[in-house]
Structure formats: C-alpha cells, structure tokens
Amino acid sequence: MMVSKTPTTRRASGARLAAALGLACVLAACGRSDEAEAPAAAETPGAVTAQASQQAAARQQAADDAIAGLSVDELRAAASAAYQESRLYAPAGENAMEYYLALREKQAGDAAASSALIDLLPMSVIATEQSRDRGDYAEARRLLGLIERADSAHPALERLRTSIANAETQAAAKVEQQKLTAEQETQRAQQLERERAQQQQQQQTAAAAQLAQQQAADQTARDEADRQTAAREEAARQQAARQETAREEAPTPAPAAPAATAAPAQLRPLSTPAPRYPADALRAGTRGEVMVEFTIDVDGSVSNARVVRADPPRTFDREALAAVRRWRFEPVPAPVTTRRTIGFSPTAN
C-alpha cells in the first residue's frame, strides 16, 4: 500500500534519509583511509586480510546503524528505489535486501518485505558463492550475514559457512606459501573490487529484468481474466435485455373486464407536460429513454406509475415518473393500464 505524503513530509523524509546515508559514507571513507594505511602497518598478508575484514565489519555496522534510523516509509521508499535501480544486494548499506530486512524488523509481518526477501534469497546465495570463489571473503561473509538475517534456517547457510571458512584457510596457506607482498595484496584487493562491482551489476541487471518480465506476464494474465469476466457480464446483460424486449413485445392477454373498458388506442390525452431534464445528465450530454407503465383512472388521472425499462438505468427514472403522474386524459369507462416510452435528448432542450 502506498502512503501519500505532503511535500513537507517528503522533504523531511528525504533529509533524514540523506543524513543517514551521508553518515554511512563518511564512516566508509574513514574505513578506506584506514585500508590505505593498513599495508604499511601490517607485517604479513594474513594480517592485511584480517584488518580488511575488521574494517568491512565496521563499515557494515555503520551502514546498519544508519538504516536503522530510517522510518518505515523511508525504508519502503529506499527499498523500492534500490529494487528499481538493480541494487538488489549490493553495494553494502545501499541495497534492497538490507532495506527490506530493516523494514521487516521495524514492522513485523510486512507482507511486501517478506515477499521481496524470498525473491532475493536465491540470488544472494549465488552471489555469496561467487564472492567465495573469487577469493572475496569479506563480501562473501557480508552476503552470508544477510542470508542468515533473512532466513536463519536457510538450507544453504551451513554449507556456505563451511565452504567460506575452508576457502579462507586454503587462501591463507597459499598466501603464506607465495609470500605475497603488501603491494601485491593491495593490487589484488583492488582487482577483486572491480570484478565484484562489474559482476554484481551484471547479475542484478539480469535479475531485475527477469523479475520485471514475470511481473508483466502476471499483469497480462490478470488483464485477460478481467476481459473474459467483462465479456461474460456483457453477454448476460444483452441476454436479459433481449428477454425484456421479448416480454414487452408479446401480446397482452385481454383483461376480464366489461366490454366498455377502453383500449389503449382510444385514450385521448388532455395534458402531457414534458419531463424535466436532469441537470447532471444535461451537462454530460447524456441521452436515453424510459418506458413507464401506468393506469388511467376513470376520471382521466394517472396512478400506479412504475418504470419498466430505462436506458441508462436510474438516470432519467425520477423525472419520467414525475412527469407521467402529472398527465391527464379524457375520462374512460374503466381504468386502463398502458405503457409509454419517454425519450431524453440534450439537443431537444
């Protein structure tokens, strides 16, 4: 459900969102500065990797704190924007998965957040495996943490956790064996970052396109169902109209009345004032007709007026009945029931 906001509310929400994200960016910048100094201070490549993991965890915590400060409406808007821009699970602190997790934590049972997380989980598992395979263990653990927050009983959790730990152990042994220098490790990390950004962007764009295609197919199916329902209703309406017309055109049995009863053809009107044209219908240029059945009493007055058929329904009924009740005819030997069709056309008024 979309929440309507005034311009003032939207500006306030946007300011809070910008401030929160700004704080995360500042903390992330500090983390990058620390990373630049880390190779010089560390004695071994393993120490550089451990320090990078700590800094990544600190940046993730800063991003989580910034997101936690957003309101439900701000989280929903940020999640929707990230989803539309294919930021499904990356970059850290600015992706749909983290926003939906925070939204679900703030508003338990949110159906939209739960549904979105279910859609995002399979892609997050694949991204975790790919980060692990290219040796980007900090990113793999970040994604693993998102999966665990989304579904603590996910069947892939234990497998991913074990495989990441094994891969880190093997990588550490390989790094120790090859005696990588701090400069080589930094270059490798930069290359990993570039590969990660490129791969994740491609994956998220493809995933977003697939989701959009599925949504379009679902909408097409709903439209077709609505069209078929409307066609059935129109066919039923036309059938009812044909049946009504057939009843109106069927000959009316002669009433068991005295021979002196006047036939409709012998009725002579004295006063038949035209009905008033409804103002709304006149402004809209609506035209139509109303068939009214009524009884002419022996003194020529009208009684028992009722609408038999109206097109369009309930637009001209009241004015047609009001006009018929004012009609007067020449006296008749016995009451006569008849029908008249009154037309309404804006060009005649």
Q: Residues 168-192: pLDDT tens digits?
A: 999 999 988 888 788 888 898 899 8
| Dist. CA 315–CA 99, nearest whole Å | 51
To the nearest whole number, what is the mean pLDDT of the chain?
A: 82
**Is pLDDT of 146 > 50?**
yes
pLDDT at 12: 38
Give yes or no for a contact between 104 and 18, defined as CB atoms under 8 angstroms apart.
Answer: no
pLDDT at 46: 57
pLDDT at 244: 76
The CATH number corresponding to 268-348 among 3.30.2420.10, 3.40.50.300, 3.10.450.710, 3.40.50.970 equals 3.30.2420.10
Helix, strand, coil distribution of the chain in percent, nearest 5:
65, 10, 25
pLDDT at 70: 95
Give yes or no for a contact between 294 and 324, defined as CB atoms under 8 angstroms apart.
Answer: yes
Helices (H) and strands (E) in the chain, counts: 10, 5
* The residue type at 39: P
Q: Of the candidates 266, 262, 244, which has an alpha carbon nearest to the alpha carbon of residue 336?
A: 262
| 1 or 208, which is more confident | 208
The burial class, CB within 10 Å (0-12 / 13-18 / 19+), for 129 is middle
Each domain of the chain, given as residue ranges in start order, spans 7-224, 268-348
pLDDT at 310: 95
**Report for 30-39, 57-66, 254-263, 297-306: range of highest mean pLDDT:** 297-306
The burial class, CB within 10 Å (0-12 / 13-18 / 19+), for 198 is exposed
| Dist. CA 51–CA 55, nearest whole Å | 6
Least confident stretch, 27-36, 70-79, 156-165, 330-339? 27-36
How far from the centroid of its chain's Cα atoms is residue 283's Cα?
A: 35
| Dist. CA 192–CA 130, nearest whole Å | 11
pLDDT at 29: 44
For residue 94, the SS3 value is: coil
Confidence of residue 74 (pLDDT cuts 50, 70, 90): very high
Give yes or no for a contact between 98 and 82, defined as CB atoms under 8 angstroms apart.
Answer: no
Q: Of the candidates 195, 174, 190, 51, which has an alpha carbon nearest to the alpha carbon of residue 131?
A: 195
| Dist. CA 183–CA 48, nearest whole Å | 11
Does the reported pTM lie above 0.75? no
* The residue type at 279: A
Provide the 8-state DSSP code for 299. Answer: T
Q: Biggest alpha carbon distance in the chain? A: 125
pLDDT at 83: 94
Q: Of the candidates 277, 259, 270, which has an alpha carbon nearest to the alpha carbon of residue 323?
A: 277
| 232 or 313, which is more confident | 313
**Is pLDDT of 2 > 50?**
no
**Is pLDDT of 66 > 60?**
yes
* The residue type at 179: K
pLDDT at 171: 93
**Is pLDDT of 281 > 70?**
yes
Structure tokens at 299: 């003194």
pLDDT at 36: 41
H or E segment to which residue 91 belongs: none
| 175 or 329, which is more confident | 329
| Partners of residue 269 on adjacent β-strands | 329
| HSE toward the beta carbon, residue 98, CA cutoff 13 A | 26
